[in-house]
Amino acid sequence: MGILNVTPDSFSDGGRYIDPSAAVDRAEHMLQEGADILDIGGESTRPGFDPVPLEEELRRVIPVIKAIRQAGITAPISIDTYKAETARRALEAGANIINDIWGLQKDAAMAEVAVEYGCPIILMHNRTEAVYANFIQDVIDDLRLTVERAQAAGIREDQIILDPGIGFAKSYEQNLQLMNYLDRIVALGYPVLLGTSRKSMIRHTLNLPPGDVVEGTAATVALGIAQGCRIMRVHDVQAMKRVALMTDAILRQR
């Protein structure tokens, strides 16, 4: 999954792809590098981010989704949002997947949109406060509750994808710890998306800026695939595609 942020303030690539023509060029480039899915977001979720009003988020993402489709690009598009109306409008414009960083917790109508459109939905682990009694078990229990919420709303089993939420409501040490237990999240029985690309866990470990952590991201991608994660959400598509192909080749020989 190639990341296409159409925001002015994302921690890594803010402001670079706001213009629809630039976004189309970037989308085409990522697909040439081996991306299978394009993830489009109009609101930065970096630490300390300012929430974006609905109309502004729509102004950013809808023209980009339409431009990508008008350019003849048919690859699946996921809309990175926790607002149900943004998800609805994005699906109408040509998106195929909802990527909800709040796992149905922020907007009660999100599940209704997923059911109405019969689309896959990525449900990420998140909390308003990083307070845990038993960290790993609490994350797993939270994800179980998220799945139950989705099922109760009518979302089909085969449309649910889970995300452990690396970098969200977790300390540096907890993010590293969670990387060792991804297989327990995989064991819940749903495809797992891993989004570690250029995140603070890597930058802090290596003491490097966001654009210089491709090797650190590669380590997390390989470890995630080895534990059974199915989708890698990344900025550096070409390099991470090669990491994924090599890791897959090794794992097939087990």
39 strand-pairing partners? 3, 78
Let me know: does 56 contact 33? Beta carbons within 8 Å: no
Q: Which two tokens stand for residue 44?
A: 């930065």
Annotated catalytic residue, options 83, 199, 203, 241: 199
Alpha carbons 186 and 227: distance in angstroms, whole number: 8
User: Is 199 marked active-site?
Assistant: yes
User: Is 233 marked active-site?
Assistant: yes
Q: Which DSSP helix (H) or strand (E) runs through 100?
A: strand 97-100
Let me know: does 80 contact 124? Beta carbons within 8 Å: no
Alpha carbons 235 and 217: distance in angstroms, whole number: 10
Which of 63, 138, 140, 127 has its CA nearest to residue 101? 127
DSSP track, 42-60? SS--STTPPPPPHHHHHHH
Annotated catalytic residue, options 233, 242, 252, 254: 233
- Cβ-based neighbours of 227, under 8 Å, separated by 6 or more: 182, 183, 186
Let me know: does 238 contact 34? Beta carbons within 8 Å: yes
Three-class SS string for 138-159? HHHHHHHHHHHHHHHHCCCHHH
Q: Which residues are catalytic?
A: 199, 233
